[in-house]
Structure 1
Amino acid sequence: MNGAGGGGGADGDVSGPPSKGIDDEVRRVVEQAKELQDAASSLIARTSNEENSIRQRAVSLDATIRRLRSSIDSQLGQRLIDPKLADKLEEELQRARCIMVDGDASAFFPSVPQGRLLRMFLGPINVRASRKDVQLKVKEEYNSYRDRTALLFLLFPASLLVLRSWIWGGCLPAFPVQLYQAWLLFLYTGLALRENILRVNGSDIRSWWIYHHYCAMIMALVSLTWEIKGQPDCAQKQRGVQLFLQWAILQGVAMLLQNRYQRQRLYTRIALGKAKRMDVVWGETAGVDGQLWLLCPILFVLQGFEAYVGLLLLKTAFVGQISEWQVVFCGTLLVLMAVGNFVNTVQTLAAKSKFKAKMKRSKTKHGNAVKGDNNSPTPQTL
């Protein structure tokens, strides 16, 4: 009994020291956690102060650039400065701003307010990336999304029209058409979300293209409720649907050309300091004249065809062949989008023409400066 009691006491003595050791280690861990928290808080405070200082410098420098631009425009309007010198100064200011916006300093500029679409889908979440590599990854994903959807935009309606002629006896079933309309809703919603995120991260996407995708989203949503008429007289009832699918094929071709040409143009402008890496240019701003001669007719034909489809839908509604409200709504929306696309394209081409005239004056000045020097390189055409 005594031996058993002694053994019990021995066991208690053995278990004591390990327990005390664990207790001491836990206390050390707690102290280390507090020290780590204090160090992290101190670092965040120092970093926050430095960030505020850099942010103020970035905002101040951006305001200075805007003031200088306004001053140059004012002096140019009053003819107090030579136009060639004004162009040169404007180009230097643009290059300086591209340096800031394309570099790590871009994270310290005030963020663009998020659009209602982002707030509606994501809530009050900040989607601005603080690192430039993350911003560029967002843009590359946007470009990849456009490449993928351009191919589908071409193949999906083409498949429907081929199956209509070969299998469905000239009459489109309702389900495949509604499936295509549902895909259009997904497509334009994805584009609008990505473009809003790009704008928050410093891209210069034109507002019209985002509004255009809003209109396309609404039209796709409304068209899902549009009953697809079949026999009898299927060809007449589905005339608007057939024309819309044909227009979509042409749109897919134009999107493929745009995606190819716009990247060539944007890379050139980035290399020259004329654009930011987060910028997105559209097909009508493609680089060389040969590309414009190819794209511009396609774009204007697309816009005319879009308006024609819209007017055809309105005509079928007003003459009583198809009286659903969806026909009137989609027809009106197509006409409005065609007009908006045409106006935006003309404005872009006018801006491009003005830019090319400015570059021509700059090259003429440069050519006069190096005239007679046979070893001087020839200025490259943009």
Structure 2
Amino acid sequence: MSKPRFQTEWEEMDEEYQQLQETHKVYRQKLEELTSLQTTCSSAISKQKKCLKDLRWSLTKCSKTCDEQELKLIADMKTQINDKENVFFDMEAYLPKKNGLYLNLVLGSVNVTLLSNQAKFAYKDEYEKFKLYMTIILMFGAISLFFLNYRVTDEIFNFLLVWYYCTLTIRESILMSNGSRIYGWWVFHHYVSTFLSGVMLTWPEGPVYQMFRSQFLAFCIYQSFVQYLQYYYQRGCLYRLRALGERNQLDLTVEGFQSWMWRGLTFLLPFLFCGHFWQLYNSLTLFRLGGHEDCKEWQVIMLSLTFFVLFLGNFFTTLQVVNKKIQTNQEKNHKKD
């Protein structure tokens, strides 16, 4: 007598169930092995980094009393130390580590390390798309506010700016924890922008606010337009340089001019400098409005100072990058000659 169909299906399911249990058991064992390897690697890297730090300090100290041959040897060892530190940085990108102060405050001790290249690249691409979509939304949002002069719509727009820059700081911190090299002013820039947007959000309706409103909206439209240009131009540069093996796969587009962008047209520089000086113009306008007889809000002077900080940081950082790249090109040309 043949078995009923449902009994056959049940036996097949039971067999798959037993196999799943075995597979999950192996997975649990491998996971424990992985955790053990992660701990071992992290401890070894920490020990190596401490030894290299001590060695660097010793080399610096003894270089004051060394002859020329020994100085050359010390310089070579320092170069190797830098190379090893870069290797350790790449290794740590694939190991769980403690969050920085900012991520601890926002997320707690949640592990944000993405262990596979596929996960890292997927998160990076999602970050880039988020920036692009929000840039377009903010551009059209600022344009629409020229026709919707209501306090509630202004508040929604300013709240969106605060949320956008806060989100960027969190996402960038996660990317940095996963090996993305985002350093210097362009990281701090988003924290300052978050603060500026927060002050704009708290600025109450009044005659001074209306005097600055149109200028601020025009600046937001221009800034979004420049960021849109930057995204597509920098993305093209990064794609080419990654294909040549000259850039890290986790490098990102940023709101500024980078040395690697020199390979190709530098048409972005005039747009960037125009945006920098517009920030200075905003600062001076607000400073002038701070002396207006109707001005009673603390936000006016605070915004003036914040725009001035943004101008200084953006302008001098861009100048530094351009000057450094020009000097590098001159040195290369001098060696060829």
Offset of 1:267 from its aligned partner?
A: 2.3
Q: Quote the residue 2:115 is aligned against.
A: 130
Q: Residue 244 in 1 paired to residue 226 in 2?
A: no
Q: Residue 261 in 1 paired to residue 233 in 2?
A: yes
Q: Quote the residue 2:100 is aligned against.
A: 114
Native 8 Å contact 2:169 2:191 kept in 1: yes
The one-letter code matched in structure 1 to 2:131 is: R
Q: Quote the residue 1:200 is aligned against.
A: 177
Q: Which of the residues 143, 152, 162 maps onto 2:137?
A: 152
Q: Residue 287 in 1 paired to residue 261 in 2?
A: yes
- 3-state SS, counterpart of residue 291 of structure 1: coil
Q: Quote the residue 1:323 is aligned against.
A: 296
Q: How many Å separate the matches in 2 of 1:188 and 1:124?
A: 22
Native 8 Å contact 1:112 1:201 kept in 2: no
- 3-state SS, counterpart of residue 284 of structure 1: coil
Native 8 Å contact 2:93 2:177 kept in 1: no
Which structure 2 residues correspond to residues 143-182 of structure 1 after superposition, within 5 A? 143-161=128-146, 163=147, 172-182=149-159
Q: Quote the residue 1:14 is aligned against.
A: none
Offset of 1:139 from its aligned partner?
A: 0.7
TM-score normalised to the size of structure 2?
0.74
The one-letter code matched in structure 2 to 1:254 is: V
Q: For the structure 1 residues 357 and 127, does the alpha-carbon distance in structure 2 shift closer, same or farther, using more than 3 Å as the test?
A: farther
CA RMSD of aligned residues (A): 4.1
Deviations 1:173-218 (A, max 9, x none): 2122112111111111111111111111111112422322222222
Q: How many Å separate the matches in 2 of 1:287 and 1:217?
A: 26
Deviations 1:70-117 (A, max 9, x none): x9xx9xxx7987xxxx9xxx89x879958983xxx554457474242x
Q: For the structure 1 residues 219 and 256, does the alpha-carbon distance in structure 2 shift closer, same or farther, using more than 3 Å as the test?
A: same
The one-letter code matched in structure 1 to 2:182 is: I
Q: For the structure 1 residues 112 and 298, does the alpha-carbon distance in structure 2 shift closer, same or farther, using more than 3 Å as the test?
A: farther
Aligned length: 307
- 3-state SS, counterpart of residue 285 of structure 2: helix
Q: How many Å separate the matches in 2 of 1:203 and 1:284?
A: 17
Q: Quote the residue 1:216 is aligned against.
A: 193
Offset of 1:134 from its aligned partner?
A: 0.9
Q: How many Å separate the matches in 1 of 2:24 and 2:131?
A: 45
Offset of 1:47 from its aligned partner?
A: 3.7
Q: Quote the residue 2:243 is aligned against.
A: 271
Which structure 2 residues correspond to residues 96-107 of structure 1 after superposition, within 5 A? 101=90, 105=91, 107=93
Q: Which of the residues 275, 285, 305 maps onto 1:302?
A: 275
Native 8 Å contact 2:113 2:178 kept in 1: yes
Q: How many Å separate the matches in 1 of 2:109 and 2:189?
A: 24
- 3-state SS, counterpart of residue 265 of structure 2: helix
Q: For the structure 1 residues 124 and 111, does the alpha-carbon distance in structure 2 shift closer, same or farther, using more than 3 Å as the test?
A: closer
The one-letter code matched in structure 1 to 2:323 is: A
Q: How many Å separate the matches in 1 of 2:33 and 2:292?
A: 72
Offset of 1:37 from its aligned partner?
A: 9.4
Q: How many Å separate the matches in 1 of 2:48 and 2:327?
A: 27
Native 8 Å contact 1:202 1:278 kept in 2: yes
Native 8 Å contact 2:114 2:120 kept in 1: yes
Structure 2: give runs of 5+ residues left out of the alignment: 1-17
Q: Quote the residue 2:323 is aligned against.
A: 350
- 3-state SS, counterpart of residue 242 of structure 2: helix
Structure 1: give runs of 5+ residues left out of the alignment: 1-28, 165-171, 231-235, 366-382
The one-letter code matched in structure 1 to 2:292 is: V
Q: How many Å separate the matches in 2 of 1:155 and 1:228?
A: 22
Offset of 1:342 from its aligned partner?
A: 1.2
TM-score normalised to the size of structure 1?
0.66
Offset of 1:140 from its aligned partner?
A: 0.6
Q: For the structure 1 residues 237 and 264, does the alpha-carbon distance in structure 2 shift closer, same or farther, using more than 3 Å as the test?
A: closer
The one-letter code matched in structure 1 to 2:100 is: Q
Q: How many Å separate the matches in 2 of 1:269 and 1:94?
A: 21
Q: Quote the residue 1:371 is aligned against.
A: none
Native 8 Å contact 2:282 2:307 kept in 1: yes
The one-letter code matched in structure 2 to 1:341 is: N
Q: For the structure 1 residues 141 and 184, does the alpha-carbon distance in structure 2 shift closer, same or farther, using more than 3 Å as the test?
A: same
| Runs of 4 or more above 6 Å deviation | 35-41, 56-68, 78-81, 93-96
- 3-state SS, counterpart of residue 301 of structure 2: helix
The one-letter code matched in structure 2 to 1:136 is: F
Q: Residue 334 in 1 paired to residue 307 in 2?
A: yes
Q: How many Å separate the matches in 2 of 1:309 and 1:180?
A: 18
State the identity %: 23
- 3-state SS, counterpart of residue 283 of structure 2: helix
Native 8 Å contact 1:240 1:313 kept in 2: yes
